[in-house]
Structures are given as structure tokens and as C-alpha cells.
Amino acid sequence: MTTHVLLTLGRMPKGLDLARGFAAAGCDVYVADPHANHISRYSNSVKECFTVTAPNDSADDFVDDLLNIVKDKAIDIVVPISEESVYTAKLKVRLPEHVIFFGPGFDVARRLHDKYEFNRYLVELNLPAPETALLGTDEANELVQQHDVIVKPIHASAGIDIITVNQGDSLPSATNRPSLVQQQLRGRLLTSLSVAKDGQCLQTGIYEGRIFTGSVAIAFERVNDAEVVQEFAKRFIEDSHYTGFISFDVFIENDNNAYAIECNPRLTSGIHLFNTTDVARAIMSEAVHPEIALRERLSFQHFWPALGTTEMSLIKGGPFKHNLKHFLKSSDVTWSRHDIKPFLMMNFCSGEILKKYFFDKMSLGEASITDIEWRE
């Protein structure tokens, strides 16, 4: 019997890559997204797409829409994809008993997505954690007297609304969103993505940004010399008995400890490091420790934004030689010779995102998630 899989977002290459993995594993793949037009709609790996209510228009309607798809299409597995995942986690307790939800429940997802609560959880688990306090507290004012600090929203993604404050300077009295104050780390910044089931870390890929737009990496490279990050991810997953995809942004400091500054309890671009057919089979498998291989290729990019950033670094000044080197050596995360249309249609089906970018003056990262990001 064919396994039916529902992915809860289709507009991003990471969802497309996972859809291709499930299709290659013999599944029927269904995709939900508040955007009617997105790259997964053009993939031959996707059986059917559904337009659902944006969670920031109505979280209840969003979850109801997903539940209706689960029932109508006899879905066996639900996989959250991106920032909608905290809302999607509310679906877990409403699913029929046989349906697998590959991710944490709502309380866990909400706590890990909250940058301050995640920091507190690291302290509880006795894992390395940067000094952190809530903006507006005495602890925050003391912290900036001791360190250069970063002020950032506790929920925002894509590097939105981050402020750097030098040691001894005054903190902002207020920000647009509830924010934290965190000791600024200056070591090597790496990102990990792990696949976990019942507290077992099945595989971890670690990567380093190479080309950036703002603070968001649009070209990145897998690294194999960060065992301390591997160990951090493994211990966190075991101690929290986690199931699902989980990603950490981690600084390796001079003491050779891995200090996680934030957690994404969901899929990230790290999926492009993995053999996604292995990932799909592992999610479906009842084996104790199914094998997941990493791809042989090391360097990946989002072709169109990486091209634009590389061009602008030549025109306006910037690290052009560096950008060009990594642009030429990196593989596009959307391209597949067996599934060409998503690559060709990428710009055409990004209209809703580009409209917010040009007319509402949002960053591309912010424009791509404004309707789905968690807003407690």
C-alpha cells in the first residue's frame, strides 16, 4: 500500500528536496501552502497541492485546513517544513492514531523556537549557553556592562531586527517585538541539522555559510571538522528525547565548547546535505537506527539570490572574488535533471514574496515568512 505524506509548506527548496525524497521512496506526496503558486506545485514528485489559510490570518483555520487534508487524502505522515511548524504542532494531538507527526508537540516546539526559553533549557540540561537576559530587566542592563551584546526578538527568524550594542553603551528602551539581550560571541559560526527519532540522533549534517544576504546564508558548505557540534546535537536530542528535524546555530569558542544561540525545531536548508530518500525511509521505518547517508557534494546554494548577491558585490563593492568562487563551485538546491520545472519557475512563482520585498521594503527572508512565522 502506498504511503501518503503531507508536507505543510511548499514554497521553499527544502520542502521540495524532501518531497523528492519521499517520492523516490515510493510515497504519494501532498503539499499545503498559503501561497497558491510555489515551486513544489511544478514538481513531478508532488501528487497534489492545496492552498490553505495563512496561520497569521487564522491559526485555527490553518490547522483545520491541514486536518481536512489528512482526512480527505488518507495521510499517513505529516512533516512540518518551516516557520509554520509551531502552528502545525497544534495538529499533532488532533491526528488519527495511526498518523505519524514527524516533529515535536506544540509545547516543545513553542519553547525551543523561543530564543530565551531555549537558552534557559540549555542551562537546565547543563549544556554550554551564552549569557542571556530579557530586554528591560536589571539582568540585561548588567550584561551590557560586562560584554558586547546582541539584542534580538525572541521569536523572529531570518536575521530580522538584530541590533549590536557595545559594552557599556545603553540598551534600547523598547523594540518592535519582545526581545532578549545576549552576550556577543565571536567564534566560528556553524549550523547543524539533525534527524531524530525517540531521542536517537540518526544523522547530523553541519554547514558553514559562504555567501550571505544580510545575516542569512544563501550559499553554504558542509564541514567535517566540528565534532563538538555533533556531540552537542546528540546530547541535546538524547536528553530531551526529541523526535523530528532539529537545527542549531552554534558558535565554537576558544574553549572548544559549542554555544548554541538558537534552535529551529524543524527542517532547515541543512536538508540539502542529506540523501533525502534515506531521510524519507528513516521517517517511515520501524528500525531502531535506520541509516541516513550524507550527499557526497559539499557545496550548495540558492542559485538566483546567490547570483544577484554576487553581481551586486561587483557593482556596489564587496567580497566579489569570495562570492564568485563559492557561486561557481556550489550546486543549486532546486535543480534536478529529473525534475526541471521548479528551477525554471522559481522567479515566476515567487511573486508574492517579491512583491513584499519591492513594495513593502522587507528583506527576502522576512517576505518569505511573514504570513507563517510564529507570533505568540
The stretch 185-205 carries a mean pLDDT of: 96
Residue scoring higher pLDDT (227 or 365):
227
For 73-94, the pLDDT digits (tens) are 999 999 999 999 999 999 999 9
pLDDT digits (tens, 9 = 90+) for 305-357: 899 999 999 999 899 999 999 999 999 999 999 999 999 999 888 777 777 87
**158 has pLDDT over 70:** no
Segment 251-277 shows an average pLDDT of 95
Position 28 scores a pLDDT of 98
Task: Let me know whether 274 and 204 are in one domain.
Answer: yes
Going by the DSSP 8-state scheme, the letter that residue 346 receives in this structure is: T
- Residues 159, 84: one domain? no
Q: What average pLDDT does range 218-241 have in this prediction?
A: 96
Distance, in Å, from the CA atom of 278 to the CA atom of 285, rounded to the nearest integer, reads 10
CA 84 to chain centre: 10
pTM: 0.93
**Do 26 and 103 fall into the same domain?**
yes
Let me know whether 179 and 191 are in one domain: no
Q: Find the mean pLDDT for residues 4-16.
A: 97
At which of 263, 298, 333 does a domain end?
Answer: 298
Do residues 175 and 191 both lie within one domain? no
**How far from each other are the two terminal CA atoms of the chain, in whole angstroms?**
40
Mean per-residue pLDDT over the chain, rounded: 93
Mean pLDDT of 25-54: 97
In a domain, 372, yes or no: no
The reply to whether 98 and 139 lie within a common domain is: no
Helices (H), the chain: 13-24, 59-72, 85-88, 106-113, 115-124, 138-146, 227-240, 276-284, 303-315, 320-329, 341-345, 351-359, 364-369
Residue 353 confidence (pLDDT): 77
DSSP letter string over 20-74? HHHHHTT-EEEEEESSSS-GGGG-TT-SEEEE---TTT-HHHHHHHHHHHHHHTT
Place of cell 542529506: 274
48 and 32 co-located in one domain = yes
Question: With pLDDT > 70 as the criterion, what percentage of the chain qualifies?
Answer: 99
How far apart CA 356 and CA 56 sit, in angstroms, is 16
Residues 161 and 201 in one domain: no
> What is the residue type of 280?
A
Residues 258, 341: Cα–Cα separation, whole Å: 40
Q: Is the pLDDT of residue 182 over 90?
A: yes
Phi, psi of 200 (to 5 degrees): -105, 130
Q: Reduced to 3 states, what is the DSSP secondary structure of residue 265?
A: coil
State mean pLDDT over 173-183: 87
**Which of 249, 267, 298 is the last residue in one of the domains?**
298
Q: What is the pLDDT of residue 159?
A: 66
Range of the domain at 261: 187-298
